[in-house]
Amino acid sequence: MAQRFKNQVTIVTGGSAGIGEATCELFAEEGARVVIADIDDTAGAALAVKLKQAGSEALFIHTDIASEDNAQRLIAETVKAFGTVDVLVNNAAAFVLKGVEATVADWMKSLSVNVIGTSLVTKYAVEQMKKNDDGKGRGAIVNLASMSGFIAQPNFLTYSATKAALVQMTKNLALDLAPFNIRVNAVCPGTILTRASHDHMERTGQSLEDFLAEQGPSHLLNRVGQPREVAYPILFLASEEASFITATHLMVDGGYIAR
């Protein structure tokens, strides 16, 4: 089967681990030139080597999305290496899980990465996407929101607020960028087994077995998801097969919020 993203320059923020890593791998398998943008240099560089050994074009660029300088440099270095930006997957997030007791520092961390950081990378990526196809513009952006943007979970205030913001930001961006042929959509995962889940287990002293037993049954499919099960919907929304889809959010939550 033909590779669906042959030579498409795809940036994945938070690409060093979890859903981002699975997304980098899937886009690489589909022929994309993949840019891994992350603060985790060791894992990001190792993933770039792995993708290149498998025959793909891949580049790791150290990027803290909360830094405007970093966001601007990410796009400049991507364009220098690969010529343009076709797809942006806004996946990086800070998991600040606090309730009403959250401090200003907690709020600033959560908002500066999840909301402002996502906006900064998008701002500079869009400048480049507008130049695609001889200035007519073309691009696809997929934002990682969450089921947490729709439901209440204990002590998720600082995180859920940012994920709900991303659902709304997706619509605003889609409206503003439609004239430039740039589609903007979101995916909203349920519980996915990633490093973030392992960090959560560590914080709460839960074993993997307990975590799965607690989380699994809340999903209609009676289990948590795997990173690749989110990477495929991201790939779909970024693809030509989704050419008439913009401003939407796709639940990838095993049916969690249906109850």
Ligand X SMILES: NC(=O)c1ccc[n+]([C@@H]2O[C@H](COP(=O)([O-])OP(=O)(O)OC[C@H]3O[C@@H](n4cnc5c(N)ncnc54)[C@H](O)[C@@H]3O)[C@@H](O)[C@H]2O)c1
Q: Which stretch binds ligand X (CB under 6 A): 4-12, 15-23, 124-132, 150-158?
A: 15-23
Does 18 help bind ligand X (rule: CB under 6 A)?
Answer: yes
Candidate residues 19, 32, 120, 177; the one interacting with ligand X per rule CB under 6 A: 19
Which residue bears the tokens 């891949």?
58
Contact 186, 254 (CB under 8 A): no
- Contact between 233 and ligand X by CB under 6 A: the answer reads no
Active site residue 159: yes
* Residue 39 makes contact with ligand X by CB under 6 A: yes
Q: What is the DSSP string of 127-160?
A: HHHTTTTTTT--EEEEEE--GGGTS--TT-HHHH
Residue 13 sits in the site that holds ligand X (CB under 6 A): yes
- Nearest CA to 128 out of 138, 118, 120, 119 is that of 138
| Residue numbers 102-131 binding ligand X by CB under 6 A | 113, 117
Cα 245 to the center of its chain, rounded Å: 18
- Work out whether 195 is an interface residue with ligand X (CB under 6 A): yes
Residue 181 — left, alpha, or beta (φ > 0 → left; ψ -120 to 50 → alpha)? left
Which one of the spans 60-68, 100-108, 130-138, 170-178 is the region binding ligand X (CB under 6 A)?
A: 60-68
C-beta closer to ligand X: residue 24 or 126: 24
Q: Which range of residues in 57-65, 73-81, 175-183, 203-211 is near ligand X by CB under 6 A?
A: 57-65
The number of beta carbons lying within 10 Å of the beta carbon of residue 42 is 10
Q: Binding to ligand X by residue 64, rule CB under 6 A?
A: yes
CB atoms inside a 10 Å sphere around CB 106: 18
At residue 30, what is the residue type? E
For position 20 contacting ligand X by CB under 6 A, the verdict is yes
Judged by the rule CB under 6 A, the positions of this chain that interact with ligand X are 13-14, 16-20, 38-40, 63-66, 91-94, 113, 117, 144, 146, 189, 191-192, 194-197
